[in-house]
Amino acid sequence: MSESDCLFCNIRDEKIPAAIVYRDNDVLAFKDVTPRAPLHLLVIPLRHIASLTDARPEDAELFGKLMLAGARLAADAGHGEDGFRVVMNAGPNAGQSVFHVHLHVLAGRELAWPPG
């Protein structure tokens, strides 16, 4: 899949509207259009990486930035104390449906375990 065909790259490039809540030089976060919790954000790298399985060792800092942005956004939304979940699916059997790395940030209700 090329970046021009990628849903999240098109959101990044403002070709598709989204409720963006955060953007910096490396990371973009926006509200999920089909939320599974009162707070359901997607945090993506601006650089297209199809899946976690495509990440390289030099991507470690970028993946850390995704996690830190997700934690900060959950805390800013008032869920730092009561808790939140971050999830990254890798591949179709894990539930990945958009092949651009993305971190789900979920909060605002009790989340069951196991999740799948």
β-strands 27-31, 84-87: how paired? unpaired
Let me know: does 61 contact 99? Beta carbons within 8 Å.
no
Out of 48, 79, 100, 102, pick the active-site residue.
Answer: 102
User: What distance in Å separates the CA atoms of residue 56 and residue 111, rounded to the nearest whole number?
Assistant: 31
- The residue among 67, 106, 102, 108 whose CA lies nearest residue 85 is 106
104 is catalytic: no
116 CB-contact burial (10 Å; exposed 0-12 / middle 13-18 / buried 19+): exposed
Active-site residues: which are they? 102
